Amino acid sequence: MNATGRDLVRRLWVLSSLAVVSTLVLFVSYRGVHGDTVPLASSSAPGILAVDTARSAVQQAHTAVDVDGSGPGPEATGDFHTRISVAHQSIAVAASEDVAGPADRHTLKTITGLITVYSAWVELAGQEEDASLRAAFLHYAERGRDDIVERLDELRDRRLVVAREQASFPWPLWLGWGAVVVLGLALCGALVEAQWFARRRFRTAVQPWLLAATVLWAGWVTVLGWFTLRARRAMTESLAELREVRSADGIPEAGANVERYMADAGFWASLSGWILVGGVVLMVLTVSGLGPRISEYRFRVPR
Amino acid sequence: MSRPRARTLVAAGVCLVLLVTVVAVVRLTEGWTGSVTVLANWSGAEREQFERAVRPFEEEHRIDVVYQGSSALSQVLAADLAAGTQPDVAVLPGPGELTAYAAEGRLRPLDGLFEAGDYDGFWVPRVAGRDGRERTYWLPVKTGLKSMVWHGGGLSGDGIGRAAGEPDRWCVGMESGATSGWPGTDWVEDILLQQAGAEVYARWANGDLPWTDPRVRKAWRTWGAMVGAGDRSRVGRLLQDNFARDCPRRNLEHLGSFRDSHWKQSAGDFVHSAEVIPGAREGADHWEVSGDLAALLNPTDEARKLIRFLADPGTRLPDFTAHRKAAAPAGPEDAPRRRIGSVLRGAERRLCWDASDTMPANLRDAFHRAVLRFLVSPGELDSLLRELEALSGDRRPTLPVCGGG
């Protein structure tokens, strides 16, 4: 094999190595961001909003029974029960297995029990004719409500910490995406250089396989980078929605906003598997571009 | 281009294996290997004490103890059991509900997990399971002495007696979340114990003596007179006061040993309640007690390990332990604590369970509400007792209420 043949083999090695490393780094970096988008959209956000709904429903229930501080009247009973039902349903959502871990479910079961006790005190107050006892029962109910709200707030804080971690972009991700940019540029540069080398040595206008590999990789990295930027923005905006404790009226709007921001999260995340496929295609294109030329030199006998 | 040498490949392989090993070891040492859920009614300082006590267990076994505490313990546990999502370990204040759960086959036996002989049989009785066989179903994690009257210290017996006759000198608060009213039931139970004796008390607690019995009625009336039941302005306040609110040094307080830290601040002391209860029997020396009893609901390996850990005399559990081999409270400044400890671990034959803690949950809750109503309307006592008697009619599993009984 003469010098041109050795140059071609060296270029194939360099391009293959860069393709493998770039693919792996891109895969890990992409998963690092998009691996958290789906849990944020399908678990953390609904969990936090369900806790907010339960909190708001409990407070509204108490407002319904204690408008003038004298306890629940008959007309308030229906509204009270509706609010308590909302609280129970929201807690069921917050405690569902795909939303809460064992510790949070344990907390939510306790809160369910506290809501039952709270309702019992309110109902006793409603049935009580003696003013002292009615005031006492309402006082116990109030203490129960405070306990419920306090526990829901603690739970919300814990879940917000998780959501913050999911939406964060820590230094390993900066490092990973920095490496993606550097390796991507290096790979594209190496492909262009191989194209230029082949053009000069073999007097061909263009190597179509190498050109396809260059366009594929540059486009692929650009598209995935763009999706990652969109995911980052969507997660930041979702987190801003979740950070604020909202009243009952604001919760559906916040939920709709988060859903809108994160609408493509599943699609973004599903692309991570295609990164490896893209890497294989890149390798095939590179080998297809340089392989035949190398074969020519392998069997050429020097004169 | 030259191929990499075999030596280089081996070095790279070794590096890779080392890296994987380091990552695996770090994950193993940092992560939990399992978890155990615990439900109890401790909050505040008691919760912190428990969490501090189990920290060595978490560190040694890498098992996460997921604790939830609530005054609505009974309601939460009943709902969990009905839904089949019970915690691994539940710590209940008293044996009443546990006896019923054991009879229903909801509890797992603890035989073999700890040495029951390390505790007096009063604390760890063998009770019947669903198949009728008697086994050990709970472990006392924390015990408490009742039948105590706290005072500011330095008072003579006469001085305490005079103060006890003035309703305004008693610190009474009924508010306690889901279990509001229990301080009142403690009063009534203790008065009956000191006036009528342990045998009558045990029969009443087990449902063999009617609520309408004159001795029970007398206990209620005695309490009403001591705390000023029917005085609406006073009662309105004490219904809403928390049971653990600050009590001035010049006043008296009928609460259990858990109040020692509060009274310690004012160098307080306690006397046996029989010394201040009007009509107490001559030589009345029985003490009402409570116990936080740990029971196993899901027999996971993690939960079993936790039970073993809680039964270890070296575990620094919240005060006071009934374990015979555990260190007793010491220190010259802790005379009340030493006395409490010596009663709990040396006078088991004179101990009686808090009666409401041995009753079925619905009767206990009705008892809580009845004392609240009695405070406001003592004239309704007879109808309240008839209502309680109607609830008490159902058959229920019973257990020895008093030591030696």
pLDDT tens-digit map of B193-242: 999 999 999 999 999 999 999 999 999 999 999 999 999 889 999 999 99
Nearest C-alpha neighbor of B204 from the set B375, B368, B353, B383: B353
Residues 30-89 of A with CB under 8 A from B: none
Fold observed for domain B144-288+352-392 = D-Maltodextrin-Binding Protein; domain 2 (3.40.190)
Matching residue, tokens 């995911």: A231
Q: Which residues of B touch A107 (CB under 8 A)?
A: 68
Q: CA of B230: which chain A residue's CA is closest?
A: A132
Token readout for A44 is 């953390």
Q: CA of A145: which chain B residue's CA is closest?
A: B177
Phi and psi at A96, nearest 5°, equal -65, 150
Given a cut of 80, whether residue A204 has pLDDT beyond it is no
Token readout for B249 is 């040094």
Residue A66: the pLDDT is 67
> How far is residue B148's CA from residue B42's CA, in Å, rounded to a whole number?
21
Residue A60 half-sphere exposure toward CB, CA atoms < 13 A: 20
Q: Which residues of A touch B79 (CB under 8 A)?
A: 109, 112-113, 116
**What angle in degrees, to the nearest 10, is found between the helix axes of A272-298 and A208-243?**
160
> How far is residue A94's CA from residue A51's CA, in Å, rounded to a whole number?
6
Pairing relationship of beta strands B287-296 and B351-353 according to DSSP bridges: parallel
Residue B15 confidence class, pLDDT cut points 50, 70, 90:
low
Q: Helix H segments across A66-101?
A: 74-95
CB nearest B240 (choices: A106, A114, A136): A136
The domain segmentation of chain A, as residue ranges, is 1-34+169-303, 38-168
Given a cut of 90, whether residue B305 has pLDDT beyond it is yes
| CA distances in angstroms from A120 to A57, A84, B65, B179, B182, listed in the order given | 16, 11, 31, 12, 17
Q: Which residues of A touch B177 (CB under 8 A)?
A: 117, 140, 143-144, 147
> How far is residue B180's CA from residue B371's CA, in Å, rounded to a whole number?
10
pLDDT tens-digit map of B365-390: 999 999 999 999 999 999 999 999 99
Given a cut of 50, whether residue A303 has pLDDT beyond it is no
Residues 172-201 of B with CB under 8 A from A: 174-175, 177-178, 180
Cα distance from B1 to chain A (closest Cα, Å)? 6
| Interface A:B, Cβ pairs < 8 A | 83
CB contact under 8 A, B240 and A135: yes
CB nearest A106 (choices: B66, B72, B178): B66
To the nearest whole number, what is the mean pLDDT of chain A? 88
What is the ipTM score, two decimals? Answer: 0.85
Residues 6 or more apart from B265 whose CB is under 8 A from it? none
CB contact under 8 A, B76 and A113: yes
CB nearest A102 (choices: B37, B232, B377): B37
Average pLDDT estimate for A129-138: 93
Token readout for B211 is 């609520």
**B281: burial class by Cβ within 10 Å (0-12, 13-18, 19+)?**
middle
The domain segmentation of chain B, as residue ranges, is 34-143+290-335, 144-288+352-392
> How far is residue A230's CA from residue A238's CA, in Å, rounded to a whole number?
12
Cα distance from A139 to chain B (closest Cα, Å)? 7
Probe site for chain B from A130, A140, A149 (most B CB atoms < 10 A)? A140
Would you call B65 helix, strand, or coil by DSSP?
Answer: strand
> How far is residue B231's CA from residue B294's CA, in Å, rounded to a whole number?
41
Residue A76 confidence class, pLDDT cut points 50, 70, 90:
low
What dotted CATH number matches B34-143+290-335?
3.40.190.10
> How far is residue A40's CA from residue A168's CA, in Å, rounded to a whole number?
11
Q: Left (φ > 0), alpha (ψ -120 to 50) or beta: where does B280 sit?
A: beta
Instruction: Please name every residue paired with B39 in a beta bridge, in sequence order, or none if there are none.
Output: B68, B90
> How far is residue B37's CA from residue A106's CA, in Å, rounded to a whole number?
8
Residues 92-111 of A with CB under 8 A from B: 102-103, 105-107, 109-110
Q: CA of A119: which chain B residue's CA is closest?
A: B178
Q: Does A144 touch chain B (CB under 8 A)?
A: yes
Give the max Cα distance, chain A: 118
Given a cut of 50, whether residue B119 has pLDDT beyond it is yes
Q: Does B81 touch chain A (CB under 8 A)?
A: no
DSSP letters spanning B295-359:
EESS--HHHHHHHHHHH-TTS-PSS----TTSPPP--GGGHHHHHHHHHHTT-GGGEEE-HHHHS
Q: Which residues of B touch A114 (CB under 8 A)?
A: 70, 72, 76, 178
**Domain A38-168 bears CATH identifier 1.20.1440:** yes
